[in-house]
Amino acid sequence: MGPSNEEEIKMIEKNDTWELAERPKDKEVIGVKWIYKTKLNADGSIQKHKARLVAKGYSQLPGIDYTETFAPVARLDTIRALVAIAANKKWKIYQMDVKSAFLNGYIDEEIYVEQPQGFIAKGYEEKVLRLKKALYGLKQAPRAWYSRIDNYFMNRGFRGA
């Protein structure tokens, strides 16, 4: 395991995404895996290596491990129309990127995952991780993030379309 793995674990722990727990007898424990990506500069040189911890969500069962997965997605033609209107009216457009967005969504279900390879807690090898927030790869992760950001805007006076 390298620095990119450590950076990902640090982000997950800082976000209070999980807690060590006893392996449940009545629930399936979902596996996790590492996904690696190399980001390149415009000239093709390596900018950085990224590691992302992903839950093996394909093993989740509907109605047991999750209920809702729907999260709205803006269509490209809608975004183009909004940019055209903003340009015509000389409005400023702001874009934001939420680092590790899915890790900010709260989940309603009780979900357990295995400890990630290379980061198994010494003395607690038999324990698993109970998720408090979503993890990439979970079926409900997009919905959890959407619900969180939607609540944020609604509490600040915005209205749904």
Whole-angstrom distance, CA of residue 140 vs CA of residue 107:
8
What total of structural domains would you count in the chain?
A: 1
The Cα 141–Cα 143 span in angstroms is 5
State residue 64's pLDDT score.
56
Q: Is residue 133 part of a domain?
A: yes
Render each residue's pLDDT in the chain as its tens digit; 161 residues: 788 899 999 989 998 999 999 999 988 899 999 999 998 999 999 998 899 999 887 665 666 555 665 667 788 998 999 999 999 999 999 987 776 677 778 888 889 999 999 999 999 999 999 999 988 888 788 788 888 888 899 999 998 77
Decide if 122 is inside a domain.
yes
> Model's pTM, two decimal places?
0.73
In a domain, 147, yes or no: yes
Assess if residue 51 is contained within a domain.
Answer: yes
End-to-end CA distance of the chain: 45
Rounded Cα distance between 121 and 132, Å, is 18
- How far apart CA 145 and CA 53 sit, in angstroms, is 17
161 within a domain of the structure (yes/no): no
* Alpha carbon distances (Å) from 29 to 8, 57, 113: 21, 11, 5
Q: What is the dihedral sign for C-alpha 80, 82, 83, 89?
A: positive
Structural domain contains residue 158: no
Would 14 be classed as within a structural domain?
yes
What is the domain extent for residue 8?
3-153
Q: Identify whether 160 is part of a domain.
A: no
If you search the block for the tokens 């803006």, which residue do you land on? Answer: 74
